[in-house]
Structure 1
């Protein structure tokens, strides 16, 4: 009875408190036994909290309460871990103030005892209550602008006289909407002017007059709208016309007076936040006859003035990089037009000067040249676009960026040029001084099998060069050309296809009548129907510089599938690509030409000759490359110095005699080759 009377004296004196019940450990107060437990949870309704008040605690004491313990938690978070003995005063002052839930939350109490106790402990006792939570005392919950009223399970807001509660049920605001349509003169002020305007204001004033008039606004002195120290508008005044929104205006500097709206219909919108003691604004409005404003959006006009009256005309010229648009499309020619001021204050005709758009460059779906991050690119005037080559067998020529110019074209578009004259390092050792080439060692070498046996050299991904006498007077569709191989027996496989040929262009000065005594200008170009896919085994050879000069003693490499000197029958050819390093002979030695078909042969400045002891090009090598530096040097890039053209029968002199082959001097034809490629690209 004594304990119960003490409990009654400690009850909170709140009209909202309700005592709901007791809680105690098993066997209280006689003492709890080993291996006992209690799991208790209580949840509060919305707007209320549940709390626990312990009035007695006597448990076995242990480090970190690992033996016997009371654990109290809320939302899974431990708020109290208790063991040992606590007197009533300590429980009241240090423990019980922590044992409450959040509004609408739950409290959980867990008790457990271990396997034994050295002495008897009575356990614990307490009571739980549900109590209304006063939201009005909690600043994190109470968002009422003016007044907060607490009730059992919740709260509500109210406002001072002259304000109404906003839709959020918390904010007290002043809303006003005044339609002054038809008035040609009057005043508009913020509420309470010149006293401080109300917080949370949202006011809209509408002015409307005849179409042949415009509204003119005059701001009184004392303009004062709240502004941050950084100059940003906290509260703001906006002026909206049929064509634009002006503002926001704030601070102590009003818009210039008179403020010409150039409109017969105006809305003035003023909003404020929940703080500040600023005065606001006062506007006197009146009307005047319509005038037209200068046309200055992305353009300039002749005879620029502050305003124009009905009937006055100007010429509008779009700024650089802008064009004006008719309904049917963009006009060509100078981007300017004439326009006249109308009685309603509008210009007619009126066209918008819009920024030039170059559009996406037409690169083609399979183009090697591609844009960097196309999703981030802009195609408007002045924008820059970056490009790259998607294959390691190409290099970017020129700047990697292009700019959209005022004519709607991309300037300085880069090109992806083929990497030339640089064979990939081979994993198979080269046979130095030998004859047999490995795959990819001479990747520019092309093989012509029909109707004549010969060769050609790849100079880019769509062109090859050969000797004119190999392809002269032969229809392009009858020529079978292969690339990317060294063993000609593989062309019988189904997966090896000839390169489709679009056209053959023989040098116009070549004369090919038989019996031939002059192989001057023995050069021809082969254009493919489409670009070939470059790779390790198919790469172009570089063209030499014009007038580089072919020097006596210069070492080069000639390659082909022609007859070998060891053949007893010089009409036979090799199945596998052969190459040999040979030096260039002197002009004197080259001028001493052999005879073919019992005719003396001509030596011209468009030729050079080369050979050595048992080393030379031979029958079937015609059209193939003579490159420098020689392949065995391992130094690149390699250049196409000559094209196999003609020479004496290979078997003369045997395998050890001096050989001499004649080559078309490619440097003399580089300009012709480039001109043909340029013309074909533009056709």
Structure 2
């Protein structure tokens, strides 16, 4: 009786299914239908073959009911994803209507089932029973992405596509298209139209028409006014017509406006391509092609003009091509790129010379890597005509002289708005210390300078003690007698310090980290200085320049002093500041940098010079001045140091180098009067010497 009932149920369940449906087997809970025991379990899994699906049809379900089926449950998975959890008791009609339709795998997928029961039940439940079947999957009906553009035919395990009359399947075996490729080579005239013209053209068309005539002829295309190729509302071509020649592509053309007629191709070889998508009812196009003698294009090359200007050019005619402003032809003449050339029309419709007018490229400015002048952003990509670059200096201790913004000109050079083609320069900010001395004192045991108050003062420690003044980041000035017997590359100077001991190897000094050790590369003594001591009757031209081996990094503790400006001479009683590490009033070298404010003496007072030997006074010249004050003066080992105007205490910058400590009788034997090299007289020599030296080193 049970077998008969099962067969009747099977017949009922299989009636609505596909004509191809195979019963593969049963799946049921343990000990069905006698009832499952506590802690019972079952794991089951099957997979469908390609083009088929697997389904489970439950005909009986009687399990312990619980919230979320946490006690007894049967779980069904499709390709590992849970699709159903069942428990309790369900009638056959409910299973058939709401449960079974979802218990299906994807085409070629797998179904798995797991069953478990907990430790006890209040009553014995019979369990569940169902059968699984393998069924053909109808791609044509159930898969909207089957890819067939016209007809779809299902068969057991797969499907195939077919097309209407006059269409054929493309190589992808899904797309229906038309055979509209045609080689019309050798014909001097003829007609070409879209497929099915004048009816709506076919969808998924990919047409290619080949035209080829004698090399001395060109093809011209005459389109009919009845032109209708699908176009989007924003003007983009959905379907499109393109005309391809060896020199380029015309189109795509679409919409309701035909291409200009006649369309001159300037070529004896043309490919006409027409493509359409899988939707639309547009009419298409029709054209007549014929030949004519070749003429050369009116535009020889883009971004240029021609002289003389004519509607068309024939064989043998010559024109001058001039590139637009800011462009140049890629042709070399006498090692220069030119913006104009001459060309002649040939019988083949090609100009004898056809150069591209490219944008002028000024190139990235030639700035050394270690330069203090920098380009903002350092973008070397934007160097073509009308591009702009902006210059700046590496730090606030430099000032940009000249324009900061330059534009790439039509001449291929960087040019400022003022027409300047020379790059701007960065000059050192001079004579502007960030700290200012507070009170005045005498250098012989006088006021000790704080770090950064006299940032241009350099200590010459080896091979002999003295001073120097920083005048830019590569040069210093000192007295000639300080360096007259020193080999050029052995001189060591120290900057950024106020304690001379910090220039030693001892590490206990607080400002040692600020010390800048400077090595000389070149020493240039003024040619008018008497270097032979036996011939020396004066210290005239006691001045020398020192070039450093490397550029120093400027900062608050190391800044240059300005050179004098104009022709104004020193005025009697004019107050300035002298600084140095020389002998103090106690007769010893000062470890600390000291400074004092002193006044300029009159010429008459200066002519009363000290004696260097009995009856042998030193000669005073116009290249000198003397200065001092009651109890304040420069002293031994201050030689080469700066005398600065105006005086630092109470004065306002920029401060300028008025003098260089030069000579005088021993400090303790004279009445506070020292002699100084008058720097004003040597400004031009300093500038000329530095310029000539830098130029020679670059060569």
The TM-score bracket by the shorter chain reads 0.7 to 0.9
Distance 1:383-1:590 versus aligned 2 partners, 3 A rule: farther
Whole-Å Cα distance in 1 between the matches of residues 304 and 70 of structure 2? 83
Partner SS for 1:206: strand
* 8 Å Cα contact 2:606-2:626 kept in structure 1: no
Matches within 5 A, 1:435-584: 444-449=456-461, 452-471=464-483, 476-477=488-489, 479-483=491-495, 486-487=499-500, 490=503, 499-502=519-522, 504=524, 506=526, 515=536, 523-529=543-549, 531-534=550-553, 539-543=558-562, 546=565, 558-567=578-587, 573-574=589-590, 576-580=591-595, 582-583=596-597
Whole-Å Cα distance in 2 between the matches of residues 261 and 116 of structure 1? 90
* 8 Å Cα contact 1:216-1:259 kept in structure 2: yes
Q: Deviations over 1:523-546 (max 9, x none)?
A: 4432234x3352769733253683
* 8 Å Cα contact 2:302-2:357 kept in structure 1: yes
- Counterpart selection for 2:28 from 7, 24, 27: 24
* 8 Å Cα contact 2:490-2:520 kept in structure 1: no
- Counterpart selection for 2:640 from 623, 643, 651: 623
Whole-Å Cα distance in 2 between the matches of residues 545 and 114 of structure 1? 105
> Which residue does 1:6 correspond to in 2?
9
Q: Does 1:322 align with 2:327?
A: yes
Q: Deviations over 1:181-229 (max 9, x none)?
A: 2222222211222221111111222222222222222111111111111
Whole-Å Cα distance in 2 between the matches of residues 315 and 674 of structure 1? 51
Taking structure 2 as the reference length, the TM-score comes to 0.81
> Which residue does 1:272 correspond to in 2?
276
Structure 1 residue 339: deviation in Å? 1.7
Whole-Å Cα distance in 2 between the matches of residues 306 and 505 of structure 1? 75
- Counterpart selection for 1:165 from 163, 169, 184: 169
Q: Deviations over 1:500-552 (max 9, x none)?
A: 4145264x777888756575x654432234x3352769733253683598999
Structure 1 residue 263: deviation in Å? 1.7
* 8 Å Cα contact 1:48-1:130 kept in structure 2: yes
Q: Does 1:257 align with 2:277?
A: no
Q: Deviations over 1:449-482 (max 9, x none)?
A: 4555322233333222333453468663464445
Q: What RMSD in Å do the two structures reach over aligned CA positions?
A: 4.2
Q: Does 1:179 align with 2:179?
A: no
* 8 Å Cα contact 2:642-2:661 kept in structure 1: no
Whole-Å Cα distance in 2 between the matches of residues 323 and 215 of structure 1? 32
Structure 1 residue 231: deviation in Å? 0.7
> Which residue does 2:609 correspond to in 1?
595
> Which residue does 1:354 correspond to in 2?
358
Taking structure 1 as the reference length, the TM-score comes to 0.83
Q: Does 1:645 align with 2:657?
A: no
* 8 Å Cα contact 2:470-2:561 kept in structure 1: no
Whole-Å Cα distance in 2 between the matches of residues 8 and 432 of structure 1? 122
Distance 1:42-1:398 versus aligned 2 partners, 3 A rule: farther
Distance 1:577-1:346 versus aligned 2 partners, 3 A rule: farther
Residue correspondences, number: 665
Whole-Å Cα distance in 2 between the matches of residues 70 and 556 of structure 1? 105
Whole-Å Cα distance in 1 between the matches of residues 28 and 576 of structure 2? 106
* 8 Å Cα contact 1:430-1:437 kept in structure 2: no
> Which residue does 1:112 correspond to in 2?
116
* 8 Å Cα contact 1:440-1:484 kept in structure 2: yes
Structure 1 residue 147: deviation in Å? 1.3
Structure 1 residue 282: deviation in Å? 1.5
Whole-Å Cα distance in 2 between the matches of residues 397 and 34 of structure 1? 97
Whole-Å Cα distance in 2 between the matches of residues 545 and 277 of structure 1? 90
Distance 1:126-1:626 versus aligned 2 partners, 3 A rule: farther
Whole-Å Cα distance in 1 between the matches of residues 197 and 472 of structure 2? 82
Structure 1 residue 648: deviation in Å? 4.4
- For structure 2, list consecutive stretches of 5 or more residues without a partner in the other structure: 417-422, 507-514
* 8 Å Cα contact 1:201-1:272 kept in structure 2: yes
> Which residue does 2:140 correspond to in 1?
136
Whole-Å Cα distance in 2 between the matches of residues 128 and 512 of structure 1? 118
Q: Does 1:380 align with 2:384?
A: yes
> Which residue does 2:599 correspond to in 1?
585
Partner SS for 1:456: strand
* 8 Å Cα contact 1:37-1:110 kept in structure 2: yes
Q: Does 1:97 align with 2:101?
A: yes
Structure 1 residue 289: deviation in Å? 1.8
Whole-Å Cα distance in 2 between the matches of residues 176 and 410 of structure 1? 57
Partner SS for 1:499: strand
Whole-Å Cα distance in 1 between the matches of residues 7 and 207 of structure 2? 63
Q: Does 1:127 align with 2:131?
A: yes
* 8 Å Cα contact 1:52-1:96 kept in structure 2: yes
Structure 1 residue 89: deviation in Å? 2.6
> Which residue does 1:231 correspond to in 2?
235
Distance 1:479-1:265 versus aligned 2 partners, 3 A rule: same
Partner SS for 1:90: helix
Partner SS for 1:56: strand
Q: Does 1:297 align with 2:302?
A: yes
Answer with 271-280 or 61-70: which moved more. Answer: 61-70
Distance 1:663-1:600 versus aligned 2 partners, 3 A rule: closer
